[in-house]
Structures are given as C-alpha cells and as structure tokens.
Copies of this chain bind each other. A is one copy, B any other.
Amino acid sequence: MTITITAFERSPDRGKGLARDMRVRWALEEVGQPYEVRLLSFKAMKEPAHLALQPFGQIPTYEEGDLALFESGAVVLHIAQRHAGLLPDDADARARAITWMFAAVSTMEPTIVDREIVRYLEGDKPWYEERLSMVDDRIRRRLRDLSNRLGDAEWLDGAFSAGDLEMVSALLRARGSGILDEYPNLAAYVARGEARPAYKRAFDAQLAVFTAASTG
C-alpha cells in the first residue's frame, strides 16, 4: 500500500530540515519504505479536508490505505513497530527506546521550541532579551542533563533507535542558537545522526521541495 505524507509547500525553515515531516521521511528512509508527499499551503492546512486528517491544522500526516495518523512521534513509532531497523528486538530495550522518543517530544522539544516562539511572538516586546535569557537557561538545564546521561556513548541506549531519531531531531532545533555547541558530546551526537545515509536522503528530499517552490 502506498504511504502518503503531508509537508509544507514552502517550509518556514527554508529547507533546513527542521519541519516535522523530516522525521517521518528519515524514519521511512531508515526502514527502506518508499513514500509519496502531498504538499500543503498554509491556507490548505487550515481547511476542512486537512483538519479531518490533522485536527490542529499541522503537518505531517500519514496515510496508508484506510489508516490515517498524525503527530510525527506517533507516525515514527508506527513505522518503527511495523518495519525492522528502528527498535531493538528485546522487549525491555524496545520500551526504553520508546521512553527516549517521549523524552524527546515532551521533555526536550517543547523547551527548545519555546525559544522559537519567543523570537517569533515576542521579538518586538520590551522584555524580549530578558525572556530569551530565561528560556535559554531552561534549555541549558535540559541539555546539561542529557549530556550527562549520554556521556561518551554513541547513541542513547545501545544501537541507533527511533529514540535517537526523535532526540537528534529535537536537538537540531537548538543548534541555530549556538547553545547546542556548548555541549560537545551532544553536538557530536547530532552530527552522527546527520551523517546517517537515511538522514541525508530525507534531508535532500525536503530541501528539493523548498528549492522547487522558491525557483518555480
């Protein structure tokens, strides 16, 4: 059955791979599953046809036959549970990998995304600098804790898993601020993620969409 995902027609990150379709593309590349992409304008994302698939009007969605899913974390987990390559076979190790997926999307990423929200919504406010500094302190505490846990390991728990895929993706959103580089083992961890052939194929595919939209 054909897998179809949705993505931004013109990604706000200008093809830097930070939009959440990137994670689904990366997961599908890791497990070797082909997929099609339906591109959406910002207007189309808020229309009834898309809201029926994604109640919050976001991307990505995932369709495969009669199944329709949203939330990139849930989609990556679905892919990881159905195809080999993103979760260990051992049941306990599998549960731990899923723990890291939740840690990425619910503990790490919201703190990092807060910084983007501050820049976007409060950039013209008199309190901007003070708020940014408060958010950066919170990001640093999370990164410090993760850095301590990772130590000099290659991945968070044994072999590369969907937990690393989600955590690398969340951390990538902190790189532009320079804060990630304050934790060299985390910066190297993210670089290892980006060096994976599946990551590169996914990255190139999403960049091609942005390039085509910009030159078309």
Convert A56-69 into 0s and 1s, putting 1 for each residue whose CB lies closer than 8 angstroms to a CB of B.
Answer: 11100000001111
Chain B residue at minimal CB-CB distance from A113: B110
Among the stretches A4-12, A27-35, A91-99, A181-189, the one at the interface with B is A91-99
Inside 8 A of A57's CB, which chain B residues have their CB? 145
A78 to B149, CA, bound (A): 22
- Identical chains bound together, number: 2
Given contacts A74-B95, A95-B69, contact A121 B134 (CB under 8 A): yes
Convert A98-118 into 0s and 1s, putting 1 for each residue whose CB lies closer than 8 angstroms to a CB of B.
Answer: 110111011101100110000
Which residues of A in the span 140-193 have a Cβ within 8 Å of any Cβ on B? Answer: 142, 145-146, 148-149
- How many of chain A's residues have a CB under 8 angstroms from any CB in B? 44
| Chain A, interface SS category | helix
Inside 8 A of A43's CB, which chain B residues have their CB? none
B55 touching A102, Cβ below 8 Å: no
Inside 8 A of A113's CB, which chain B residues have their CB? 110
Inside 8 A of A110's CB, which chain B residues have their CB? 106, 110, 113
Chain B residue at minimal CB-CB distance from A110: B110
A99 touching B69, Cβ below 8 Å: yes
User: How far does the Cβ of A156 sit from chain B's closest Cβ, in whole Å?
Assistant: 9
A residues with CB within 8 A of B:
51, 55-58, 66-71, 73-75, 77-78, 92, 95-96, 98-99, 101-103, 105-107, 109-110, 113-114, 121-122, 125-127, 130-131, 134, 142, 145-146, 148-149
Question: Could you list 23 examples of A-B contacts with CB < 8 Å?
Answer: A55-B103, A56-B103, A56-B142, A58-B107, A66-B92, A67-B92, A69-B95, A69-B99, A70-B99, A70-B103, A71-B99, A71-B102, A71-B103, A73-B106, A74-B99, A75-B99, A102-B105, A105-B105, A106-B109, A106-B110, A110-B110, A122-B134, A127-B127
